[in-house]
Structure 1
Amino acid sequence: MPSTFRRNALALTLLAGLASQPLAAQKAAPAAKSDFHAWAPTPPMGWNSWDCYGPTVTEAEVRANADYMARNLKSSGWEYVVVDIRWYVGNDTAHGYNEKNPDWNLDAYGRFVPAVNRFPSAAGGKGFKPLADYLHGQGLKFGIHIMRGVPVVAVQRKLPILGTKLTAADIYTKEGQAGWLHDMYTVKAGPGAQEYYDSLFKLYASWGLDFVKVDDLSEPYHKPEVEMIRRAIDKSGRKIVFSTSPGETPVAEAQHVAANANMWRTVGDFWDSWEQLKEHFEVCNRWAPHIRPGAYPDADMLPLGRLGIRAERGDDRMSRFTRDEQYTLMTLWSIFRSPLMFGGDLPSNDAFTLSLLTNQNVLAMHHRSTHNRQLFRRGDLVAWTADDPATGDKFLALFNAQDQELAPASEAAWASPLITRQTPGQSQPVDVDISGATRLYLNVRDGGDGIAWDHADWLNPTLSNGPATKSLAELPWQSATAGWGQATVNKSVSGAPLIVGSKTYAQGIGTHANSLIEYALPAGYTRFRAMAGLDQAGAAQNTGGTLQFLVFTKSPLRPAPADSVQIPVALAQLGLQGTCTVRDLWTGKVSTAAGEFAPFVRRHGARMYRISQGGK
């Protein structure tokens, strides 16, 4: 890593969180005030508008969430209020983006400014300063989302770059443009490039910005623009915490991103999906060695509480996570020391959601624990541990991630090869003999590539017996699961038309891996035919999704595991001997243990403990 960052990192080790070194190595001189890592001594905590409002949040909604935070969460350390994507478009749409006729708002130097119809206090060229002032007046901090690059519209209009004789048309390249949103072009290194980014953050600093989330930066990793943004923030004269998005950031770039940003994404967009949550055990284990004071791997937002009011994905709902799964989410994010950015609508919170966000024992562990790491993984039983540098106590988190397993693909009546956007037509014809079957199970599985956009469509699904046919889409299913969202008839899982390989289909079933849909078959039908395809929503995202479609005529579900199992931990593994005091951080209950500690943990649930040497 660069020598400057190495010196600064050493200076910051009194701050909590240096996981990759033993506790004895974490004592060093106080942090230099000039080091941006000192701006986030603990993982940032706040609210972001994306999960509930997508690209359409209004100033009134931001203020309402800020007011709730000031009243109910600020005392627990929550402080950032972040306006997510496309605050500069006056006529954006929910469940997708308006790219047909966006109402752009930008200044004479090609810099986006807030849409006044959505943010009235920005009128008269004030930008976000009045809103930032409002938040600062409540003891909170203000953040925005931006897209990497220079606006396409600024390039088209050849708008000047502040402080230069160049225009936006002199600094752009179409290479690397985001495939999922076309607002921006890549900024190419050269004359005017740094000056453009400098002008951006000069404007943001004048607004009073405290936090910036820069999208389309992590995967693929745009190193030159990461460095330009770092320099621009440093020149701005304001302490602006820098977050990169979305992931997974390449692990090979861990040192570079830690030398330039305060937090960086480890996954793509994360929603209220158990499938996605379970994947985080592997992801967090991979990134734990790279936790640093002031530089944090980011497991993405907390999709809890009320979501989807006008979001890109899904409907208006309370989080689909069960209470056990919500404990798992908060426990894993906390012991991993991920930044905590709440995605739900705060004024709609219920008492349970609020209790998850304000547990002082859990938050204290999140703020100051060190040497955070996975202790073991035994199948889907997982243990994490961390140290309390102030007391010598150990933290222990236990997770039961067991699932009801599915039969292997070899037992299916029909199985597709892996389908990707490189597959011709991004689809595969389905033709299955179902003679004598009374049940039909449509199963879609993730191809295992780490891409979360596994939107899957069963197109024109038809039962037949000779000339007699019946559309499966007209039959009610017995049950349906989806790895994200909900299975939907005659629409994709995102609510859009069924589009595969640039062709739109009127009939079909939209779902998302991992998915299982069960039907009771009417008598007499002998064949099932369909087209199985990767929906356009998945094919268009970054490298696209990867799916396998399977058809079963007998239940593929294996017997379910027990609802609750013991997870034994030898206290010696934690460096503890003799009798120890065990405090449950979620419930506050206190007990003792000696030799081995083996609590029961509910399936999809978690437990979190502080363990101290000695009895009560």
Structure 2
Amino acid sequence: MNVRLLLASFAVLFAPALHAQTSPAPTPPMGWNSWNHFAGKVTDADVRATADQLVSTGMRDAGYVYVNIDDTWQGKRDANGAIRGNEKFPDMKALADYVHSKGLKLGIYSSPGEKTCAGYAGSYGHEAQDAQTYAAWGVDFLKYDLCSFGDQMSAERKAHPDDPQAGEKLMIAAYKKMGDALRATGRPILYSLCQYGFADPWKWGPSVGASMWRTTDDINDTWPRMFIIGQEQADIAQYAGPGHWNDPDMLEIGNGGMKPDEYRQHMSLWAMLAAPLLAGNDLTKMSDVDRSILTNREVIAIDQDPLGKQATRQYEHADMSVWTKPLSGGRVAVALVTSSWGERRMQFNLAEVGFPNGASVRDVWDGKDLGRQSGVFTGVVPGHGVLLLILSK
């Protein structure tokens, strides 16, 4: 075989494994993001208080380590073009040091466009400079939001009317430019793409250096929106794995728009989907119920399982669906999910999920072993809720 062809074949064969080894995200990233609750009002004090709460509530020890500042932190660039924080964030290096002192990591936000979604300074034309600034501050995570780069994409399409993919190619090149800039800093900064699933980022995200990419438009704190997003992930499971993750957006648990069973369904679906778990609530006002949902160790273990498999939808009928996710040690997680307002009796055949001779079954949310089961398993699922099980031999 031609040597170049052999090397190319090697690269293709082992690229996912190598990426997983070098990626800052061998399992789905976990942490907190400011946008869902604070939006444009987030301040340095809010971020410090969140870091404190992540420690005191046990969330850090449960795996939530990233403290991510979303849009509206940016001030103006100095005479040399370097970005600075605004009056809400007067000293980003000191903030990063504080977050790091808590055993946590700091995340930040920008855009490949000239402006962010909220109209603050983006990174267009300053990619390498911004990456170096983030590294000097001690940033560990970058969320890169498409936003105003749509203007450049539209101009590119007009300039190349014979190429229907001209805008998408420019977008991918822009994301790669920042990915290369982050890598050139020498600091391991987790790179998160936020472009709402446009142009199938799960197919090219790893090639631009990303560890995760949004697969959908924004979530909000309502059950219908959360449920729709969860269901939309069914066809892209093959693109998730160690070092590279599909991102159905942040968690809304604790923001008050859903009932506890709906939040348990939210947490269960995201765990089954091997999704990044980024809480988005005000941790200083978190209820015991919300904390118990966010910190359930068995649910988190499903999300963080080292196999890195995303669940697939095994069965769907009317207002009921069954999802399965292979776990390490030959185990399988099964989620029985309903969109019904009332409770549903649901069932599945153990043989169809890999256990023809039966399995030991554990109810994850109740924390109870249900004993040895075989044949058809039947369980009761609360309205807008979930029955989350782990099957083992």
**Pairing partner for 2:34 from 44, 49, 56:** 49
State the Cα distance separating 1:379 from its structure 2 match: 2.2
Matched letter for residue 333 of structure 2 = F
1:106 partner letter: R
> Partners of 2:35 and 2:18 in 1: how far apart?
35
Structure 1 residue 367: Cα displacement: 0.6
Q: 2:337 aligns with which of 381, 399, 406?
A: 399
2:89 maps to 1:140: no
Distance 2:368 2:50 in 1: 33
Instruction: Provide the C-alpha distance between the structure 1 equivalents of 2:240 and 2:262, rounded to a whole number of angstroms.
Output: 24
Residue 257 of structure 1 corresponds to which residue in structure 2?
Answer: 205
Question: What corresponds to 1:327 in structure 2?
Answer: 264
Q: 2:374 aligns with which of 570, 594, 602?
A: 594
Q: Distance in 1 between matches of 2:266 and 2:223?
A: 10
1:367 alignment partner AA? Q
Work out the CA distance in 1 between the residues paired with 2:123 and 2:88.
27
Partner of 2:301: 364
Amino acid at match of 2:380: F
Q: 1:138 to 1:184 in 2, by over 3 A?
A: closer
Contact 2:351 2:357 in 1 (8 A): no
Deviation at 1:286, TM superposition (A): 2.3
- Residue 564 of structure 1 corresponds to which residue in structure 2? 343
Q: Which amino acid aligns with 1:259?
A: S
- Secondary structure at the aligned position of 1:134 is classed as helix
Q: Give 1:250 deviation, angstroms.
A: 2.6
Q: 1:208 to 1:2 in 2, by over 3 A?
A: farther
CA-CA distance at 1:6 after TM superposition: 5.1
Pick from 360, 380, 385 the counterpart of residue 324 of structure 2. 385
Question: 2:242–2:308: 8 Å Cα contact kept in structure 1?
Answer: no
Quote the Cα distance in structure 2 between the aligned partners of 1:234 and 1:266: 23
Residue matched to 2:177: 228
2:59 to 66, 73, 91: 73
Q: Could you say which residue in structure 2 is the equivalent of 1:270?
A: 219
Identity, in percent, stands at 30
Q: Shift in Å at residue 55 of structure 1? A: 1.4
Q: Shift of residue 392 of structure 1?
A: 0.7
- Does residue 1:348 correspond to 2:299, yes or no? no
- Tell me the distance in 2 between the aligned counterparts of 1:85 and 1:43: 22
- C-alpha spacing 1:263/1:595, structure 2 compared with 1 (3 Å): same
User: What's the offset of the Cα at 1:373?
Assistant: 1.6
**Structure 1 residues 2, 292: CA separation in 2 closer, same or farther (over 3 Å shift)?**
farther
1:110 aligned residue (48, 65, 81): 81
How far did 1:282 drift? Answer: 3.1
Residue 136 of structure 2 is matched in structure 1 by 206
Tell me the distance in 2 between the aligned counterparts of 1:364 and 1:303: 19
Counterpart in the other structure of 1:375: 314
Q: What amino acid is the match of 2:138? A: G
Deviation of 1:107 (Å): 1.9
Given the two structures, how large is their TM-score scaled by the length of structure 2? 0.86
Cα deviation, residue 259, structure 1: 2.3
Q: Which amino acid aligns with 1:379?
A: A
Measure how far apart 1:52 and its partner are: 1.4
Alpha-carbon distance change, 11 to 237 in structure 1, aligned in 2, over 3 angstroms: closer
Superposition deviation, residue 573 in structure 1? 0.8
Match of 1:495 in 2: none
1:183 and 1:64 map into 2 onto residues whose CA distance is 24
Distance 1:379 1:2 in 2: 45
In structure 2, distance between residues paired with 1:140 and 1:276: 30
Which letter does structure 1 place at the counterpart of 2:77?
A: L
TM-superposed deviation, 1:202: 0.7
Match of 2:5 in 1: none
Separation in structure 2 between the aligned mates of residue 185 and residue 78 of structure 1, nearest angstrom: 27
Whether the aligned pair in 2 keeps the contact of 1:5 and 1:259 (CA below 8 Å) is no
Q: 1:2 touches 1:259 (CA, 8 Å); kept in 2?
A: no
1:298 is aligned to 2:247: yes
The one-letter code sitting in structure 2 at the alignment partner of 1:143 is G
CA distance in 2, matches of 1:2, 1:376: 37
**Would you say the 8 A contact 2:347–2:376 is kept in 1?**
yes
Say which SS state the counterpart of residue 283 (structure 1) adopts. helix
In the TM superposition, 1:100-179 aligns within 5 A as: 104-115=75-86, 117-120=87-90, 122=91, 128-150=92-114
* Matches of 2:118 and 2:291, distance apart in 1: 34
The question of 1:575 aligning with 2:354 is answered: yes
Alpha-carbon spacing, 1:110–1:150, altered in 2? closer, same or farther (3 Å): farther
Deviation at 1:248, TM superposition (A): 2.3
* Stretches of structure 2 lacking an aligned partner (at least 5 in a row): 1-7, 154-167
Shift of 1:288: 1.5
Contact 1:79 1:141 in 2 (8 A): yes
Look up the equivalent residue of 1:349 and give its one-letter code: M
Distance 2:118 2:281 in 1: 23
Taking a change above 3 Å as real, the CA distance of residues 328 and 2 of structure 1, as seen in their structure-2 partners, is farther
For the residues of structure 2 that align with 1:184 and 1:207, how far apart are their CA atoms? 18
- Determine if contact 1:399/1:605 at 8 Å carries over to the other structure: yes
CA shift at 1:385, angstroms? 0.8
Bigger helix share: 2
**Structure 1 residue ranges, 4+ long, deviating more than 3 angstroms after superposition:** 1-6, 180-187, 217-221
Match of 2:213, SS? strand
Question: Per residue, is there more strand in 1 or in 2?
Answer: 1
Matched-pair contact (CA < 8 Å) for 1:303–1:343? yes
> Aligned-residue CA RMSD in angstroms?
2.3
CA distance 1:571–1:370, change in 2 (3 Å) = farther
| One-letter amino acid of the structure 1 residue matched with residue 260 of structure 2 | R
Q: Unmatched 5+ residue regions in structure 1?
A: 16-30, 89-103, 123-127, 152-177, 188-192, 307-318, 404-562
